[in-house]
Chains A and B, each alone.
Chain A
Amino acid sequence: MEINWFPLWLSLRVALLATAFSLAVGVWIAYLLANRQFRGKELVDAAVTLPLVLPPTVLGYYLLVLLSRESVLGRLFESLTGGPLVFTWKAAVLAAMVHSTPLLVKLVRAALETVDRTYEKAARNLGANEWRVFWRVSLPLARRPVFAAAVLAFARSLGDFGITIMLAGNIPNRTQTVSVAIYDAVEAGNETTALVLVLAISAIALVSVYVANRWNEGKALR
């Protein structure tokens, strides 16, 4: 029997892009939370944590309302890119990103907080501005746990179900990611497809977690 590999490739591509976007947004938020004192800091912290505790369908619903073709943001996206966001693979990227960013922010913040402040003081004393302190000192010193965080965020992006199905739908060969495809296959009694995809995803997740742990320990893989 023929197995459709499209969901796996789509998921990998979506997860990779989502991780890249998560890093861009998450590292910045983590930096603010770790280093700056500002008004509303607790609120930002809470807002970032929220996706970890809210049911994915709730998040998906919010995003669907916020980004539908009739909404302001949805129209803005359409006028910029020439196509709708919802129920496309791009929506799957956003869904995966919302799913993984909170974890990334938590881990990167913890990583940045382990950096000895003396190095940052020394850098400032040597004439570096905050931008340079971060890129040339703090981030390189925290590179191992930050990389580990990115790997874990990738693994988490791969596994989103609820937000994806609300925002990107379940269109075979268009927006059907692995977790959605597995659900579909089980529903349809397609045991072999389900098992193969389940094993593939499990293997990727296992490798990711293993790599992340190795990097976090600071041993091997130099």
Chain B
Amino acid sequence: MTEARIAKRFAAGPESAAFALDVHLRVEPGITVLFGPSGSGKTLTLECIAGFATPDKGRILVDDRIVFDAEARVNLPPRQRPCGYVFQSNSLFPHKTLRANLEFAAAGLPRIEGARRVGEMLERFQLSEMAGRCPHELSGGQRQRGSIARALLREPRALLLDEPAQGLDAPLREEFYAILREIRDSLHLPILLVTHAIEECFELATHMVVIHNGILIQTGSPLSVYRQPASSEVAALLGDYFLAPAEIASLDPHNKASVIRIFGAEIPGPYFAGHFKGDRIRLCLQPSDLRLSLRGGDRALPGQIPLTLVRVVERPRTVRLHFAEGLAGDMGVAEFAALPQSKFWQAEIAPSAMRALS
């Protein structure tokens, strides 16, 4: 088991605000994506696990081995921790050839075993032909594969990756994801990947952990997190979510239904477990949840939310309509073009699409 319970505080400095990291993270074999904005403590968490930073409190286990325990005063140096680390920037030693980079990691192994692994890794990541080149003579994709090969050479018991796809353009990113998936499937290895790109969660994550301001705010599969953000912070991080204030007008547990009051209209909603009549909630909606149509006058049809258009953003296939109420909806380009221009709109929302944040 690979597990980290870490607390670390930073006092406010002349150029930095105070920051506190307090996380409890368990990484199973497969890919766990630690998702959060920059400055949320993602990289710091990785650095604590690898031993580049020392937590104030807590305990870190890598493959059931204690590498850090504040109470027992255990703090193994990085070189004794069985973690592979792939850095955000290319970290291949620029003064060594690719082969020498791998051989650096093989030092300490019996010579024949080391040479065998170097050869195997070069072969596995299709780098044998350029093994004699220095990093600056390699392409971005080759460098990234080289970094991973080097990190895996010592057969680590956990693999840590710090925004490894940053700086790669789209085709290389795809190639890189394929490599990571291959590693996930062929090695029984806990992989912890840090990113602020939501696509990477869907592409790679078996498990997703959302970190914000040094605290883990939601965990689960990427889809479950995406479908039901636990808080407005998570919704904001995921992007594509719009929040609308609403009030529960009535609850009907028998029919698993409710009526909610939103922007002056009363519309049918789902049953909100754990809420009472009169509760103020925030509806968390995506543009695809709104079924838009024009409304005739100032009032919307029953069961529809009245909206006022403020801005239209054209995309390749859809237009996104932003409304004064803080919501947005999507519509086909042709469909939108066929309608007369008006700023008075209404939207219908399926009760099943309504998520409530309190």
- Please name the residue on chain A nearest to B150 by beta carbon: A126
- Whether B95 and A141, one on each chain, are in contact in the complex, defined by CB atoms closer than 8 angstroms, is yes
Instruction: Say yes or no: is A140 at the interface (Cβ < 8 Å to chain B).
Output: yes
Instruction: Say yes or no: is B35 at the interface (Cβ < 8 Å to chain A).
Output: no
A residues near B245, Cβ cutoff 8 Å: none
Instruction: Say yes or no: is B196 at the interface (Cβ < 8 Å to chain A).
Output: no
B44 to chain A, nearest CB (A): 13
Interface size class of chain B, counting residues whose CB lies under 8 Å from the partner chain: 20 to 34
User: Bound state CA distance, A121 and B87, in angstroms?
Assistant: 9
B24 to chain A, nearest CB (A): 23
User: Bound state CA distance, A143 and B93, in angstroms?
Assistant: 14
- Whether A119 and B93, one on each chain, are in contact in the complex, defined by CB atoms closer than 8 angstroms, is yes
B residues near A136, Cβ cutoff 8 Å: 104
- Please name the residue on chain A nearest to B162 by beta carbon: A118
Instruction: Say yes or no: is B125 at the interface (Cβ < 8 Å to chain A).
Output: no
Instruction: Say yes or no: is B85 at the interface (Cβ < 8 Å to chain A).
Output: yes
User: Bound state CA distance, A42 and B55, in angstroms?
Assistant: 27
Of the candidates A122, A124, A140, which one forms a contact with B95 in the assembled complex, judged by CB atoms under 8 Å apart?
Answer: A140
A residues near B50, Cβ cutoff 8 Å: 121, 125
- Which of A87-95, A98-106, A127-135, A170-178 forms contacts with chain B? A127-135
Instruction: Say yes or no: is A211 at the interface (Cβ < 8 Å to chain B).
Output: no
Interface size class of chain A, counting residues whose CB lies under 8 Å from the partner chain: 10 to 19
User: Bound state CA distance, A118 and B51, in angstroms?
Assistant: 13
User: Bound state CA distance, A141 and B151, in angstroms?
Assistant: 21
- Whether A125 and B78, one on each chain, are in contact in the complex, defined by CB atoms closer than 8 angstroms, is yes
B residues near A209, Cβ cutoff 8 Å: none
- Please name the residue on chain A nearest to B108 by beta carbon: A127
- Whether A123 and B104, one on each chain, are in contact in the complex, defined by CB atoms closer than 8 angstroms, is yes
A residues near B91, Cβ cutoff 8 Å: 118-119, 121-122
| Residues of chain A whose beta carbon lies under 8 Å from any beta carbon of chain B | 116, 118-119, 121-129, 132, 136-137, 140-141, 143
| Residues of chain B whose beta carbon lies under 8 Å from any beta carbon of chain A | 50-52, 77-79, 81, 83-85, 87, 89, 91, 93-95, 104-105, 107-108, 150-151, 154
5 closest A-B pairs by beta carbon, nearest first, are A124-B78, A122-B91, A126-B105, A125-B85, A127-B79
